[in-house]
Amino acid sequence: MQALRQDGRSTCELTLQRSDGTFFDASIDCLRSSRDDALTHTLRVAISDITARRKRTDEERRIAAIAFESQEGMMVTDPNGVIIRVNRAFTKLTGYSAEEAIGQTPNLLNSGRQDGDFYRQMWEALKDSGYWQGKLWNRRKNGELFAEWLTISEVNGPDGRTTHYVGAFSEITRHLEAEAEIHRLAYYDALTHLPNRRLLLDRIAQAMAGSTRSNSFGAILFLDLDNFKVLNDTRGHDVGDQLLLQAAERIQMHVREGDTVARLGGDEFVVMLLNLSADAHEAAAQTRLVGDKIREALALPYPLNGCDFHCTSSIGVSMFRNHDVPVDTLLKHADLAMYEAKNAGRNTLRFFDPAMQTALEERSALEADLRNAVSDGQLRAFYQPQLDDSGRVIGAEALLRWLHPARGLVLPGDFIALAEGTDLIRPLGRWVLESACQQIRKWSASKVTQHLIVAVNVSARQFHQSDFVDELAAIVARTGADPARLKLELTESLVIEDIDKTVRRMQQIKAQGIALSLDDFGTGFSSLSCLKRLPLDQIKVDQVFVRDLASDPDDEAIVQAIVTMGRILGLDVIAEGVETIAQRDRLREFGCLRYQGYLFAPPLAPDEFERFLCEGAGS
């Protein structure tokens, strides 16, 4: 029993025995009071049965102890942050035993991943609200990092002062990894790990908002590898992937931190440059510099499985500042500029300009009109005479003309490529063939014209249609034209695709009695060995070499070489674009004895052509 305190009170708890022999927990409260004379003292003792209360407390302690040993890691610190207790889960998660942890501070687990600011904010929150929770990275005893979700609660004594801190944490490393993986899959390209279209669009939108504040320009560079498809088709996708990885690396080497390199899929990459000059011209110059560096880097040889592969790139650029254009329009502009770069011969960089947009809109309007051109009877075949060296007209090239109801006469240069880009080339090509065959049939009735050979241009797309040979035979049969009077003009681009298949198809055409000529010869890349395999009757020297004959020795040498090659291969050689007598004379000197060009006549409507014949051509 304790001594009485100064205030004359004393309290204690004891186990007492009742008269019936049973025990009970008792709280004994003593109070001493003194009379005025201070000689007489009264001691009042109150005994209360606290068995039930004590049971409850014990229970609570047991529950607390079980709770403390839960799956969550727990640690209790004193107000100075010194660990005074940890549970078994703590040991399991961190690798530190209770003995090792007690007496240390939680700094024991510090991974260095969070900075001073992080911990300062944590302490501030604890002081303000007595509570903090959040995610942090810690380090286990074995050095391994792990992520945890931590809750810290302050424990206060009856006087309001902090007596302890209790920290409870569970590991969330897997969860975070899964979250990161989901994020990676949603926003990054699986092959190159570069941002994908979705993340790029987000970043552009952010950058636009940023440029409003800073007033500086940003740029979008749309890149497409020029020869990727060939590699992918011929060497397989694994090699294709290797090239894409190398290309991605090269692009990244030429941008600054804060710029974005994204892969949209296939061989298309987008680079976003930020914080360029606020001056439009200077910003464009900066962009060109970076773009050219990337282009040059991409054009270097790619070592792939022991041999070097060459692949250039075409780059389209659109500049932005503020929200002047929507994000998808901005990308579309860069894409359009990229196509311009391709059209300009590849391995180049082009800026988007609004005139390009207008031209494009016009193109699609033209395409819509072209769809009706055949059915509305707006197409015409004109014929340009082909002569021998005695000035006799030996044939004609059929050249397509489009009589557009509003635009007037439209030349093939403005619509053939358009038709080739769509399936329109089919009905168009069929129409020309049909029309030329009808003309042959008509001309077969007159002595003046029955000897004429009519050449018809066939585009690559048309030639490679699976039913082209059958269609050709059907047209010849239907019109009743003599196939020996028909000649097809093919281009080199058509031959490159699949030489075996092309040769087979050409033989099938020749078997019908139709002749074959190789148009625009000298501008393509066909090798002599390739040329040797083609069952041709004629090669046609392209007009670019004819133009500077008699003035450019290089062109003279080329024409001479072509004529010699034709002779060796047993082929007839014709020159197109002959405009002057000097050119014709030079060609004749070199041994080229067939001519076509304005010197003799432009392409003519059939009746004009007949008149030209009757008036005595080339004299």
Give burial (CB, 10 Å; 0-12/13-18/19+) of 318.
buried
Report if residue 171 touches ligand C2E, rule: CB under 6 A: no
Report if residue 14 touches ligand C2E, rule: CB under 6 A: no
Name which of ligand C2E, Mg ion, none residue 396 binds, using a CB cut-off of 5 to 8 Å depending on partner kind: none
Report if residue 411 touches ligand C2E, rule: CB under 6 A: yes
Report if residue 434 touches ligand C2E, rule: CB under 6 A: no
In the DSSP assignment, the letter for residue 94 is: H
Report if residue 347 touches ligand C2E, rule: CB under 6 A: no
Nearer to ligand C2E, 340 or 519 (CB): 519
User: Considering only CA atoms, which of 220, 180, 215 is closest in space to residue 319?
Assistant: 220
Nearer to ligand C2E, 186 or 411 (CB): 411
What residue type is 409 in one-letter code? Answer: L
Q: Which of 348, 384, 386, 526 binds ligand C2E (CB under 6 A)?
A: 384
Give burial (CB, 10 Å; 0-12/13-18/19+) of 188.
middle
- The answer to whether residues 261 and 252 touch, using CB atoms and an 8 Å cutoff, is yes
Chain position carrying tokens 């007492």: 16
- The answer to whether residues 141 and 94 touch, using CB atoms and an 8 Å cutoff, is yes
- The answer to whether residues 562 and 597 touch, using CB atoms and an 8 Å cutoff, is no
User: What whole-number distance in Å separates Cα of residue 480 and Cα of residue 381?
Assistant: 18
Compute the least distance from the CB of residue 435 to ligand C2E, in Å.
9
Site map (CB under 6 A) of ligand C2E, residues 263-302, x = contact: ----------------------------------------
Nearer to Mg ion, 369 or 519 (CB): 519
Nearer to Mg ion, 148 or 489 (CB): 489
Q: Which positions from 431 through 470 interact with Mg ion, judged by CB under 5 A?
A: 457
Give burial (CB, 10 Å; 0-12/13-18/19+) of 618.
middle
Query: Could you tell me which stretch among 155-163, 276-284, 519-527, 567-575 binds Mg ion (CB under 5 A)?
Result: 519-527
- At 96 the three-state DSSP class reads coil
First to last CA, the chain: 146
User: What whole-number distance in Å separates Cα of residue 213 and Cα of residue 210?
Assistant: 5
Query: Could you tell me which stretch among 96-104, 297-305, 320-328, 576-584 binds ligand C2E (CB under 6 A)?
Result: 576-584
Kindly state the tokens that stand for 389. 């060296």
Report if residue 72 touches Mg ion, rule: CB under 5 A: no
Report if residue 189 touches Mg ion, rule: CB under 5 A: no
Total of chain residues touching ligand C2E, rule CB under 6 A = 23
Total of chain residues touching Mg ion, rule CB under 5 A = 4
Nearer to ligand C2E, 30 or 494 (CB): 494
Name which of ligand C2E, Mg ion, none residue 432 binds, using a CB cut-off of 5 to 8 Å depending on partner kind: ligand C2E
Q: Using only the alpha carbons of the chain, give its radius of gyration.
A: 45
Q: Which positions from 439 through 498 interact with ligand C2E, judged by CB under 6 A?
A: 457-459, 489
Report if residue 563 touches ligand C2E, rule: CB under 6 A: no
Q: Which of 158, 408, 413, 570 binds ligand C2E (CB under 6 A)?
A: 413
Give burial (CB, 10 Å; 0-12/13-18/19+) of 226.
buried
In the DSSP assignment, the letter for residue 485 is: G
Q: Which residues are within 8 A (CB) of 356 and not within 5 positions of it... i.e. 6 or more apart?
A: 336, 337, 340
Query: Could you tell me which stretch among 51-59, 363-371, 412-420, 443-451 binds ligand C2E (CB under 6 A)?
Result: 412-420
- At 553 the three-state DSSP class reads helix
Q: Which of 519, 541, 571, 594 binds Mg ion (CB under 5 A)?
A: 519
Q: Which positions from 483 through 512 interact with Mg ion, judged by CB under 5 A?
A: 489
Q: Which residues bind ligand C2E (CB under 6 A)?
A: 384, 399-400, 411-413, 416, 429, 432, 457-459, 489, 519-520, 543, 576-579, 597-598, 603
Q: Which residues bind Mg ion (CB under 5 A)?
A: 457, 489, 519-520
